[in-house]
Every structure is written in C-alpha cells, then in structure tokens.
Structure 1
Amino acid sequence: MKRGWRFSQIVAIGILGYCSAAFTQNLTTSPLDVQSAQLGSYSSENRTANQPSTTNEALTLLLPHYHRVSGISGNLSSSGSDTLANLMTYWAEEFKRRYPNVHIQIQTAGSSTAPTALTEATAQLGPMSRQMKTKEIEAFEHEYGYPPTEIRVAIDTLAVFVHEDNPLKGLNFKQLDAIYSRTYQCGAVETITRWGQLGLTGSWQHRPIQLFGRNSVSGTYGYFKKRALCRGDFRSNVNEQPGSASVAQSVSTSLNGIGYSGIGYKTTGIRAIPIAREGNEYVEATIDNSVSGHYPLARYLYVYVNKKPNKPLAPIVQEFFRFVLSQDGQQIVQKDGYVPVPQSVVEQDLIKLGLGHNSAAN
C-alpha cells in the first residue's frame, strides 16, 4: 500500500515543552507522555544547521542506534493489525538485512486477531492499533497465569477524510456522532445525512453523505467507535472496508464521501478535515498537534508479546524489540508517516521487556 502523506517541515519544536503537561498515557486525552526537558533544546530559535527541523527528527535523535549482535537466527511470526502492516513489513525487512538467517512471517487480518494468536501461541508478536480489551487480556491470563506485555511502538493520527472538492471546514465529535452513529452517545440529537445539515450551501446542500469506515475486526474501527462515537454503535449504512487504504481510495472516488483511517494513508483526491472535541475550535491533523494532545484523534500503536515474568524473551524476539525501539527502528516509523514514540516511553517499555533502562543500543 502506498502511503502518500508527508509531514510539514516548518514545525516549531519548542512548543513541546509547553504542551508536555497535557500528555498522559490515558487514550481518552492524549497518546503520550514526553518530558519537556527532552525536547526543550530543539526550539526553532536555538536550532543550528545540524539540529533536527521537525518534531519527528527530534524524537528519533533522542534514541540510541541499534547495534547488531551475534547468534540471532530462527523464525519470527506476527499476526494482527492491518494499520501496522507496512510498519511491520519495513521493520522485518531491515531486521532481516541485519540478520540474514532470520525468517519473519507477517499476517495482517486485523487487530482483533492478535489476542487469539498470542493466546493460542500461533504468533510471537501481536500488532494492534488499539489496546487489548479486558476480555482479551483475561483469556490470555486464563491460559498463562499472567497478562500479555503491551509495547508502544508508534503514534498514529486518525484522520477523517473528505473529497478534495468538499468545502467543509471541520467537524466536532457531536457532528461525527450524528453522521456515523445510531445511538447518539456524544450528544447528537438527530442523524446527519446531507452535507447541507453541516452548513454547506449551493450544489452541496442536498448532496447525501456517503459513509466509509473499517470493518469490526479492525482496531481503527474500535478506536473510532470509542473516541468519536463515545462508545456508541455505528449506523448500518457505513460501507465497511477491509483496510485503511481502501477507505482512502473509496473517498477519493466519491464526491459525497467521508471516511476515517490513519493519516498516513492519505492519497490524492482527498483531504483530512480539522477536528474539534466540541464547538468549532478545529485542530489540524498534524504531527505537532498529535504529540501535544491538541488533536483529539491521536493514538498509540502497539505490539503485544507473551513475556513470562522474570524470564527473558527468546533472543530473536528480544532483538526485534530492541531494533524497533531504537533510533533506527523509529526512523522507519517516521518515514512511514507515523510519529516516533518519545524516549521516556521507550525506556519504560524496554524495562517491561526485561531489557533494562535505556538499553536499546546494547
């Protein structure tokens, strides 16, 4: 799948120090927690020619490089998120380049397949674009006696796309609820079915809204349902698509279309509309707005793994995570249109993996 979105090169990275107090690990507010001291030195005023020009670059430069170790070979299997399909493939290719005797199999049927694959031991890695549900964790715990280990590997900006010719200025959660939901959990009072109900005039006034979205096995479906619909239920006339690229493509060929997927799947013929939690204080779907917590549809992407308490991971799994959470691995995140995880998160998750504090370069 071709990813068309490219991030702006004109961000002022010093804003992260100001915004860091808003970051939490609770996905109902913001997807991450960055210490202001980590990025404070990268302000646009103080940046030199050798310093990063974007938030992404600043985040990756704070991480150590990955260094190859000897003796890594064998098979590695992954089953889960379609959203993470490209990332897992790129990571696998680079990992195999460093370790030619490693063979990696990747299946991308949707986030809901990851918990079962881990529980039934048919995969070692479980990529997910949402957190595991309580019942999924309980099923794993019933089998093993301990929970799966959750690792944050990237930050995604979930975008709402319309056709490039659509003049809509933005949407808030209440309006998204009225467009997509039949239960009105976010405060909608009636269903919105025409663009004129959103203030569009002229030839747009009576145009019907054509809905596109992901299918129910997708973590993107679950996240949008949780955040934008306040856990409400989707309307039955949403055209469910098997992948994020399909959503973007469908909107690009439908003048009346609207759809949601990761911003990295933006392609020609569509645009991401600004989103507000309420009112009309719309926020653009940009890196800085996602990292700061201002954009309301930013989220972590995860890879789950079966790690026994006080027992080391298999060497091949251990080194794969070291690579993913290194500067080299997170530069792939950046190139694929996502936001790298900050150093503080990397350090926390390396400890969860039993790999020690700041040990990605060991």
Structure 2
Amino acid sequence: MGDDAKITDMMPFHDSFGYMPTEISVATGGYEKRGSLWAFAVVVSKDNPLNEISVDELERIFGAERSGGWQLANNDYLFTSRYARGPEMSIRKWGQLGLHGKFTDKEIKTFGYSAPGFAIYIERNWFHWSKKWNPNFQEYVEEKQATPDAAGAAVASDHALETIGKDRYAIGLAALMHVKDHPDLKVLAISRHKGEPAVALTPANVANRTYPLIRDAYFYVNKEPGRPLDPRAREFMRFVLSREGQEIIARMGYYYPLPADYLREQLKKLD
C-alpha cells in the first residue's frame, strides 16, 4: 500500500509473472495535513497576474523535450514515441501563457520538491515516466530534511517559497501547509486542459476529486488476467472499499473516502 508505484517497481513484477500488478485506489489523498498524500498547490507571487493554469501547461513548463514515454497497458509496459514532444512544445516564457508587458519575454523560473513521491507523481502523470525536467528546475525540501547549516537553509522550503513570493517570474509546486506561512504567495486554480473551468484548491474539491492535482492511496494486488483474484485478497479489498471500510479510512483523519462512482470503478478491478 502507498502512493504511486514507480515503473521500476512494476517491471520486476512483470518479469516474474508476465503481467502487471493491479492498482486499486482505496482513498483520496488529503488537503494539507502532513502524511496525508496532500494535494499539490501551484503558487506564484501575488505580484504575478496569473490566476489559473492547466495541467497541460504545467507539463510544458516543468517538463522538457523527450523522445517518448512508457505506456502501461494490456498488462505490459512498452516504450513508445507516441508521447514524444520537441522543444517547441515547451513553455519557457510568461508571454506564452498570455501575460504581456514586462512579463512577455521573462523566463519562467520553476521550483518544486526533491522528495521521491513528488517526482514519481509528476513523471507518471505528466511526463509519461520521462525523467527530463525543465533545466532551470530548482529543488527544495522540508526544513527537517535539510542539513542544519546555511547550505541546508538555501534548499529548504521556507527559503524556496520566500524566493517565489519575491520573484514575480517564478512558479512553484508546494504543500499548502507551508504556503499558508507566506502571505505574499498566491495559489492558482487548476484545470485539466486549457479552456476548461479551473478548480480552486479547497477541502471540498479535493474530497470530490474535481481538483486535478490530488493523489491517491493505492493497494497493488497480484491478479492474473482472465482469472479471479485470490478469494482472501478479494474479500479484504471488498471490505476496504465497502462503506464500513471507507468510514474507517475517513476516521483516520488523513485521507478522504472515495466518491461512489470512482469507488465502483475500483471494485470492477477485483472481478
């Protein structure tokens, strides 16, 4: 159980069994609480006029050109040029997002977590498992993860968020629990695709899964294609996905229970 499995976790399983493990979501990650697989906030300085952005645009800002990506389908993993994109698809200037005046030709400076779970989520959901990032991407960590000296302070979250707040040309991916300590930051609303309605980062929008940058808690089970899941595993998973199981998850205070329609999708994976 955990957040997104790395593709390198899945490959040995496939090599051993000849098929991929079955991924089953059991809970929606939290809003901002530490340890809750909190949703990602996208932040800019309050001096930046941008108020919303799409996931498509974020991929083009934080990612880079790539020759392809991994496709996980039909119980296999295969590399394909279907997910290739050239440098002309990258967004590197604020003018490419429709900002004018002093912003038009200014470089977009990117910030984000160095934590493995952060990178895995982005590489899986945005980059098709490519590890090619914007060359100017600046990594940072929580204060407790940095060395207790000036060199550590330079890459700690407080310093990074303070830098973004003072630099109208910067954009960062962050935890809301840290952002709230920096009043000079603005949290952007997010849409999945440009032109679609953007959704604010709120507890309700995380719980109902309309905010695009949520995370899931998963179980990975060994289910051979065309054959039923082991009865004991199936019984356990059906309990976790039952009303009682979801209520237990909610009472923990870290995760949100799954909405009914999404929960039904997970139950179908057990058959």
TM-score normalised by the shorter chain: which range applies? 0.5 to 0.7
User: In structure 2, the residue corresponding to 1:258 is in which secondary structure?
Assistant: strand
Distance 2:48 2:22 in 1: 43
What letter is aligned with 2:112? G
Structure 1 residues 171 and 326, CA gap change in structure 2 (3 angstroms) = closer
1:329 and 2:258 equivalent?
A: no
1:24-35 correspondence runs (5 A): none
Q: CA deviation at 1:190?
A: 5.5
Identity, % of aligned pairs? 22
Distance 1:347 1:197 in 2: 38
**Unaligned runs of at least 5 residues, structure 1:** 1-125, 355-362
**Unaligned runs of at least 5 residues, structure 2:** 30-38, 67-84, 146-154
Q: CA deviation at 1:238?
A: 0.8
Distance 2:5 2:19 in 1: 17
Distance 2:269 2:119 in 1: 28
Runs of 4+ in 1 over 6 A off after TM superposition: 204-207, 243-247, 350-354
Give the TM-score normalised by structure 2: 0.56
Q: CA deviation at 1:241?
A: 3.4
1:153-192 correspondence runs (5 A): 153-156=26-29, 157-173=39-55, 175-183=57-65, 185=85, 189=89, 191-192=91-92
| Larger relative contact order (Cα-Cα within 8 Å, sequence gap ≥ 6) | 2
User: In structure 1, the residue corresponding to 2:218 is in which secondary structure?
Assistant: strand
For 2:2, the equivalent position in structure 1 comes to 127
For 1:273, the equivalent position in structure 2 comes to 188
State which of 173, 180, 196 in structure 2 corresponds to 1:260. 173
Q: Does the 8 Å contact 1:248/1:259 carry over to 2?
A: no
Structure 1 residues 311 and 289, CA gap change in structure 2 (3 angstroms) = closer
For 1:39, the equivalent position in structure 2 comes to none
Structure 1 residues 159 and 348, CA gap change in structure 2 (3 angstroms) = same
Q: Does the 8 Å contact 2:65/2:89 carry over to 1?
A: no
1:238 and 2:123 equivalent?
A: no
Q: Does the 8 Å contact 1:155/1:299 carry over to 2?
A: yes
Structure 1 residues 226 and 250, CA gap change in structure 2 (3 angstroms) = farther
User: In structure 2, the residue corresponding to 1:162 is in which secondary structure?
Assistant: strand
Number of aligned residues? 220
What letter is aligned with 2:121? Y
Q: CA deviation at 1:140?
A: 1.7
Q: CA deviation at 1:159?
A: 2.7
For 1:212, the equivalent position in structure 2 comes to 111
For 1:152, the equivalent position in structure 2 comes to 25
Q: Does the 8 Å contact 1:287/1:339 carry over to 2?
A: no
User: In structure 1, the residue corresponding to 2:28 is in which secondary structure?
Assistant: strand
Structure 1 residues 188 and 145, CA gap change in structure 2 (3 angstroms) = closer
What letter is aligned with 1:223? Y
